[in-house]
Amino acid sequence: MRWNLQTAPDSQKVRALSKALGVESTLTKLLVQRGIETFEAAKAFFRPSLDQLHDPYLMQDMDLAVARIESAVQQGQNILVYGDYDVDGTTSVSLLSSYLLETYAQVTTYIPDRYQEGYGISYQGIDFASDNDISLIIALDCGIKALEKVAYATEKGIDFIICDHHRPGPEIPKAVAVLDPKRNDCHYPYDELCGCGVGFKLIQALAKSKGQDFQELLPYLDLVATAIAADIVPMTGENRILAYHGLQVINQNPRPGIQALLQQVAKTTFTITDVVFVIAPRINAAGRMKHGLHAVDLLTESNLEKAQKFAAAIETYNSDRKDLDKKITEEALQQIKDLQEEERFTSVVYKADWHKGVIGIVASRLIENHYRPTLVFAKSGDTLAASARSVKGFDVYKALEACSEYIEQFGGHKYAAGLTLLPENYEPFKAAFEEVVKNTLPPALRTPEIKIDSELNLSEISPKFFRILSQMAPFGPANMHPVFMASGLRDNGYGKQVGEDKSHLKLSILSGADPKTYPAIGFGLGDKHALVQKSNAFKAAFTLDENHWQGHTTLQLVLKDIEMEG
C-alpha cells in the first residue's frame, strides 16, 4: 500500500486556532487541513446547526415543483412517488410519500423491479400510472436522463417532477420541474446532496409554502442520514448537517422500521459506520433479493410489531444475499485466475446466471483482491447488465462514456455505475474499456493508498483527545476518520493472530522509552504477525476507536497497515 502523509498545514494558522480553541495542535492541524481556520468555523463544524440549511427555493425549478404538487392536491389528482430500488431510492420514496400522506390520501408508491424493469424510470411504471388514473409522477434518485420516458408520459397526459442528484446529459427532460443541484443552470449553493437529500429539500419547500414549522420535519431525518451514509456522498455542507441531526433521530427516536432493523444488533449507540454496515445492507437486500417495495413497506410502517415482521423477512433476504455474494465472489476470482489477467488494468468478468442483485457487491470485493477498475456482468433478459466499481481517484463513469458506442444504457457516479449492453458487444466493450483505462489510469492510482492526516506520538492519546476527535463525526468522504502515523514502535511480545481464520492481528504496542502499552487491532493484517515478532522497530498507520468488552471501555489503535523501519 502507498502511504501518503498529507502536507502539514500553515503552522501559524494551526497555532492561532489552537490558542482560540484551547486544544492540542495535532487536533487543530486536522481542522485546518479540512479548511476550518477560525473559532466560528470550528463552532459551526463541531455543532452543525439546522439553521445553516439553505433556502430550498434557491434550487432551480423548486417553485414549479411545489406549485404542481399543490395543484394536484387542490384538484384531487392521484400522485405516484417513484424511486429506485437501492437505499437512496427507497428512503426517498418513503420520505416523500409518508410526508404527503400526512395530509393527502391520494398518494401511492412505485419501485421498479430490478430484473424486469432495471434502473431508473421505466415504461412499465408510466403504464401503471396511466392505468390507475395517475396524473403526476414524482421521481426521486432517478430520471435526469429519462428524456424519452418523460416524453412518453406527456403523451399519456402524465406530468413529471424529477428529483435527482446524478449528472445530467446534454439535454434536460421536458418535465414540469427538474430538481437537480448538478444542473448547469442550477445555482443552489450545495450540489452534493443525495437523492433523498433532494427529496428532503422538496418537503422543506412544501412545508415552507404552507407555513409548517420546520421542527415537524425532523422525524424524516433518520431516512436522510441513512441515504447519505449509504450513497457515499461527501460528508460536507448540508450533508453533514442532515447526517448529524439524522443520527440523533436514529439514536433517540427512530421510525419503527429503522428501530426494528437496529434491534438485530446488540448496540445502544449508532454511528454513520453502523448505518453503512447495519441498516443500509438490509434495506438494499430487499431490492437485491426480492423487491424494493418491501423496504418502502418497512420504512413507512408506523406500527412497531408490523415493522418487526417486515424486518424479520428482510433479515432473511440479507442472509441469502450474503450467501450469494460469497459464492459469486469465489467464482469471479477463479475466473480472473483462469484467464491469467493479473497484468491487465481492468477486471471484467461475466457469467449468465450470476444474480444481478449482488454483482455490485461482488465488484467491490474483487477490487479488494485485484485493485483495478472492475465490472461484473450477468444476463438480464436479452441484454447483459453490469455493475462497475472503481479504484480511488479514477472516474469510471468517464471511462464508460469513452466506450459508449458499445453500451445500450448507463448511469452512475465517479466510483460506481451500472450499464447494459448487447451480448455481441461484450468482447468489443471489454477490449475498449481495457484500452481506455490503460491510457488514463495514472501509475500512482494502481496501488491502494492510505491517506495519513498527521504523525502522532502515542503519548498524546488520552480520553480528552479522543473525545474531541469523536466530535469531528459524522465521518465520510471529504471528512474521513483521521488516520495517524507513528514510528519507533515495538510489540511487547504478546502479539498474536486472532479470528477464526487467524486473519486479524492483535498487539500491545510499546512506543520508544514509554513504558505504557497501547492495545491495537489490525483487521485483515494477520499475515503481518511475523513482521512485528522481529526485534526491529516498525511504523503503523492507524485510526483511534473505543473497544467495549465485558463492561469495560478502552481506547485502541485500529491498524490500517504496518511497515518495518530501516
| 161-198 b/e (C-beta count within 10 Å ≥ 16 → b) | bbbbbbebeeebbebbbbbbbbbeebebebbbbbbbbb
Whether residue 181 contacts residue 199, with contact meaning beta carbons closer than 8 Å, is answered with no
Class of domain 339-446 (CATH, top level): alpha beta
pLDDT score, position 48: 95
- Identify which of 446, 450, 447 has the alpha carbon closest to the alpha carbon of residue 560: 450
The dihedrals phi and psi of 524, each to the nearest 5 degrees, come to 80, 10
For the CA atoms of the chain, what is the radius of gyration?
25
pLDDT score, position 342: 56
pLDDT tens-place values along the chain, 566 residues long: 899 999 999 999 999 999 999 999 999 999 999 999 999 999 999 999 999 999 999 999 999 999 999 999 999 999 999 999 999 999 999 999 999 999 999 999 999 998 888 788 999 999 999 999 999 999 999 999 999 999 999 999 999 999 999 989 899 999 999 999 999 999 999 999 999 999 999 999 999 999 999 999 999 999 999 999 998 899 999 999 999 999 999 999 999 999 999 988 877 889 999 999 999 999 999 988 889 999 999 999 999 999 999 999 999 999 999 999 999 999 999 999 887 655 789 999 999 999 988 999 999 999 999 999 999 999 988 999 999 999 999 999 999 999 999 999 888 778 888 999 999 999 999 999 999 999 999 998 999 999 999 999 999 999 999 999 999 999 999 999 999 999 999 998 888 999 989 999 999 999 988 889 999 999 999 999 888 876 678 999 999 998 887 778 889 999 999 998 86
Q: Which residues pair with 519 in a beta bridge?
A: 508
Please name the residue that has the C-alpha cell 424479520.
312
Element at 167 (helix H, strand E)? none
Element at 262 (helix H, strand E)? helix 256-262
Torsion 151-152-158-161 (CA) sign: negative
Whether residue 68 contacts residue 176, with contact meaning beta carbons closer than 8 Å, is answered with yes
* DSSP code for 408: S
| Segments making up each domain of the chain, as ranges | 56-313, 339-446, 449-564
CA dist., res. 270 & res. 278, Å (int) = 9
- pLDDT, one tens digit per residue, over 50-69 is 999 999 999 999 999 999 99
pLDDT score, position 78: 98
Give the global pTM: 0.91
Torsion 281-285-291-293 (CA) sign: negative
CA dist., res. 444 & res. 477, Å (int) = 20
**3-state DSSP percent of the chain in helix, strand and coil, to 5:** 45, 20, 35
What does each C-alpha distance from 76 to 34, 103, 104, 136, 160 come to in angstroms? 49, 12, 9, 11, 17
CA dist., res. 94 & res. 299, Å (int) = 6
Q: What is the 3-state secondary structure (H, E, C) of 468-509?
A: HHHCCCCCECCECCCCEEEEEEEECCCCEEECCCCCEEEEEE
Which residues lie closer than 8 Å to 517 by C-beta, 6 or more apart?
A: 492, 508, 509, 510
Beta strands, E only, 363-402: 374-380, 383-389
- pLDDT, one tens digit per residue, over 344-402 is 899 999 999 999 889 999 999 999 999 999 999 999 889 999 999 999 999 999 999 99
pLDDT score, position 566: 66
pLDDT score, position 167: 86
Domain 449-564 has CATH 3.30.420.10: no
User: Do the first three CATH levels of 56-313 and 449-564 match, i.e. the same topology?
Assistant: no
Class of domain 56-313 (CATH, top level): alpha beta
What is the arrangement of strands in the sheet containing 374-380, beginning at the earlier edge strand? Answer: 347-350, 374-380, 383-389, 416-421, 409-412
How many other C-beta atoms lie within 10 A of the C-beta of residue 462? 11
> Hey, what amino acid is at 482?
P
pLDDT score, position 199: 98
The four Cα atoms 308, 311, 313, 316 give a dihedral, to 10 degrees, of: -130
